[in-house]
């Protein structure tokens, strides 16, 4: 008989496949860790199995092996995770149903926790404030992957002082926010699907302004409501507050009551390569006390304002707004925002900012606005294309306003003017790009291509 290496490998693979097909749960547990049914737990039972599940979690963690949960429904209250707890289910088939308590899975001061392949069904049972179905405090290397969070009566995940990875999960019908992170120690949030929350999609927060460095990448986020109301605290897909050096990249975001990405007092934020449609306030926001924002290579289709980099009065400064496509802007912001807040604007900026290479189309008010009264300093607006805006570019010209350069832009179909001077929101000059127009010492209007 001719036995060769290829046939041996094929026979081995067939044997493993056969074993898994005949007894998948036993094979999985034997390969990866302990089978939860060894502890008197019965998948599909209508009984509360919290006590036995807790014993199984504790013993598996002490033995430093994963705990495998075969397909089925497990009804449980609060389960506490210790260091090294690893819970592994069969994606889409292993379901934990919440009977009530502070959280479903909680780890405090426990590192190395892993959750994979679990469906966590909150059943709409209300959670206390500042709690999640999964609740982890002061833990390093927490990994939650390939899980589903459904029907949480609070948050999906609540982290404080946590490092780790939350990836490839699905969040649906969340009463508050899918994921909240306070004071992260090195966190990645990627490739998750979030659909239907009542507060925000993802919140990256700090108790005081400081370095955070969380990466929020390649998520799909939609249908985010501002349930509690307010003027922008809620209704955002991604919200970074006081968190420095956060990267928000490559996310697909649609249908938000307020913003797609809102950075509040978040220095050195990167907002890049996101696709945004149908948001009803500022799509991409950097506001209040920040230094440094890069907002580049995004597409925004449908928002009250495409990009806003503002609050120089509170120290907000230094930004690059480059290479964005912004179109089909709305004439009004949502009810609850300040009555003098602008709308129908492609890009709004104030201080120490370069705006270049953007394309803006269908802006009911302004393609670009620079400055609010005296709050304007060192702004360069160059190489942009603006089409079908009431005004192409508006620049503050009130006493005390700083320097602005408007040069080498392509501006067309702007009936009120290609470049006009502003007193706050009000246009107060004729078209400054026309020959013989009024001159302002702090405003340099160069060679723009204007088609009226």
- Find the radius of gyration of the CA atoms of the chain: 27
Contact 113, 136 (CB under 8 A): yes
Dist. CA 147–CA 168, nearest whole Å = 7
pLDDT at 74 (0 to 100): 98
pLDDT category, 11, cuts 50, 70, 90?
very low
**Residues 281-292 pLDDT 10s:** 999 999 999 999
Answer with the residue of higher pLDDT: 432 or 30. 432
pLDDT at 406 (0 to 100): 98
Q: Does residue 396 register a pLDDT over 70?
A: yes
pLDDT category, 452, cuts 50, 70, 90?
confident
Provide the 8-state DSSP code for 48.
Answer: B
pLDDT at 436 (0 to 100): 84
pLDDT at 5 (0 to 100): 34
Q: Does residue 213 register a pLDDT over 50?
A: yes
pLDDT at 32 (0 to 100): 65
Identify which of 115, 72, 74 has the alpha carbon closest to the alpha carbon of residue 93.
72
Q: Does residue 18 register a pLDDT over 80?
A: no
Which of 3-17, 57-71, 261-275, 398-412 has the weakest average pLDDT?
A: 3-17
pLDDT at 244 (0 to 100): 98
pLDDT at 216 (0 to 100): 99
**Residues 323-341 pLDDT 10s:** 999 999 999 988 777 666 7
pLDDT category, 147, cuts 50, 70, 90?
very high
Which numeric CATH code is attached to 24-451? 2.160.20.10
Q: Full-prediction pTM beyond 0.85?
A: yes
User: Which tokens is 446 given?
Assistant: 């160069």
Contact 326, 302 (CB under 8 A): no
Kind and range of the H or E run holding 10? helix 5-22
Burial class (CB in 10 A: 0-12, 13-18, 19+), 245: middle
User: Which tokens is 319 given?
Assistant: 């930004």
Which of 14-23, 193-202, 237-246 has the weakest average pLDDT?
A: 14-23
Domain range summary for the chain, segments of one domain joined by +: 24-451
Identify which of 421, 393, 388 has the alpha carbon closest to the alpha carbon of residue 407.
393
Q: Does residue 15 register a pLDDT over 90?
A: no
Reported in sequence order, the residue ranges of 27-111 that DSSP labels E, i.e. its strands, are: 34-35, 67-68, 72-76, 79-80, 86-88, 94-98, 105-108
């Amino acid at each position: 008989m001719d036995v060769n290496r290829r046939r041996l490998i094929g026979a081995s693979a067939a044997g493993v496949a056969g074993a898994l097909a005949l007894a998948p749960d036993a094979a999985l547990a034997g390969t990866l860790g302990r089978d939860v049914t060894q502890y008197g737990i019965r998948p599909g039972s209508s009984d509360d199995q919290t006590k036995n599940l807790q014993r199984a979690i504790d013993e598996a963690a002490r033995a430093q092996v994963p705990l495998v949960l075969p397909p089925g429904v497990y009804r449980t209250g609060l389960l506490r995770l210790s260091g090294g707890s690893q819970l592994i289910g069969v994606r889409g088939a292993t379901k934990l149903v919440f009977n009530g308590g502070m959280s479903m899975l909680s780890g405090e001061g426990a590192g190395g926790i892993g959750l994979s392949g679990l469906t966590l069904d909150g059943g709409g049972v209300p959670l206390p404030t500042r709690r999640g179905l999964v609740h982890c405090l002061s833990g390093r290397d927490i990994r939650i992957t390939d899980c589903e969070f459904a029907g949480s009566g609070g948050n999906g995940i609540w982290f404080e002082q946590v490092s780790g990875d939350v990836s490839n999960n699905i969040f649906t019908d969340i009463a508050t926010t899918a994921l909240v992170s306070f004071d992260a120690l090195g966190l990645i949030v990627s490739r998750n699907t979030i659909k239907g929350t009542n507060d925000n999609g993802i919140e990256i927060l700090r108790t005081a302004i400081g370095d955070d460095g969380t990466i929020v990448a390649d998520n799909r986020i939609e249908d985010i409501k501002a349930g509690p109301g307010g003027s922008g605290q809620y209704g955002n897909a991604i919200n970074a507050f006081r968190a420095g050096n956060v990267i928000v990249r490559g996310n697909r975001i649609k249908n938000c009551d307020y913003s797609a990405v809102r950075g509040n007092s978040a220095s050195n934020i990167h907002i890049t390569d996101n696709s945004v449609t149908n948001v009803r306030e500022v799509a991409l926001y950097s506001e209040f006390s920040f230094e440094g924002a890069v907002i580049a290579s995004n597409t925004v289709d449908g928002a009250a304002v495409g990009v806003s980099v503002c609050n120089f009065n509170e120290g907000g400064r230094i930004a690059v707004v480059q290479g964005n496509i912004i179109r089909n802007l709305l004439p009004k912001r949502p009810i609850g925002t300040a009555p003098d807040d602008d709308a129908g604007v492609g890009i709004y900026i104030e201080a120490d900012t370069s705006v270049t290479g953007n394309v803006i189309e269908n802006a009911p008010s302004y393609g670009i606005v620079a400055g609010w009264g005296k709050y304007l300093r060192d702004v360069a607006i160059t190489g942009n294309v603006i089409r079908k805006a009431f005004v192409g570019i508006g620049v503050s010209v009130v006493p005390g306003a700083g320097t602005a350069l408007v040069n080498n832009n392509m501006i067309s179909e702007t009936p009120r003017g290609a470049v006009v001077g502003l007193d706050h929101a009000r246009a107060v000059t004729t078209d400054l790009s026309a020959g013989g127009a009024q001159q302002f010492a702090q405003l340099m209007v160069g060679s723009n291509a204007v088609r009226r």
